[in-house]
Amino acid sequence: MSDPGGTAHGLNAFIEASDGSTAGALDSAMTEVAKWIMSAAGYFLGHVKMAISSGNRTVTFNLTDLEAGVEHHGVLDENVRLDIRFMAAVVDVDRNELAERMREALVSNGFKLKNRNIVELG
SS3 per residue for 44-60: CCEEEEEEEEECCEEEE
Q: What is the pTM of this model?
A: 0.90
* Helices of type H across 46-108: 95-108
> Per the domain annotation, does 1 fall within a domain?
no
Looking at the structure of the chain, the number of domains it has is 1
Q: Are 15 and 121 in contact (CB under 8 A)?
A: yes
Structure letter (DSSP) for residue 101? H
Mind listing the pLDDT tens digit of every residue in the chain (122 residues)? 454 679 999 999 888 889 999 999 999 999 999 999 999 999 999 999 999 999 899 999 999 999 999 999 999 999 999 999 999 999 999 999 999 999 999 999 988 877 766 666 65
CA atoms of 104 and 32, how far apart (whole Å): 9
**Residues in Cβ contact with 122 at an 8 Å cutoff, skipping those fewer than 6 apart:** 110, 111, 112
CA atoms of 51 and 77, how far apart (whole Å): 13
For residue 102, which amino acid is it?
Answer: M
> Per the domain annotation, does 48 fall within a domain?
yes
Tens of pLDDT, residues 84-101: 999 999 999 999 999 999
Residue 70 is part of which domain span?
6-121
pLDDT the model gives residue 72? 97
> Per the domain annotation, does 50 fall within a domain?
yes
CA atoms of 73 and 49, how far apart (whole Å): 11
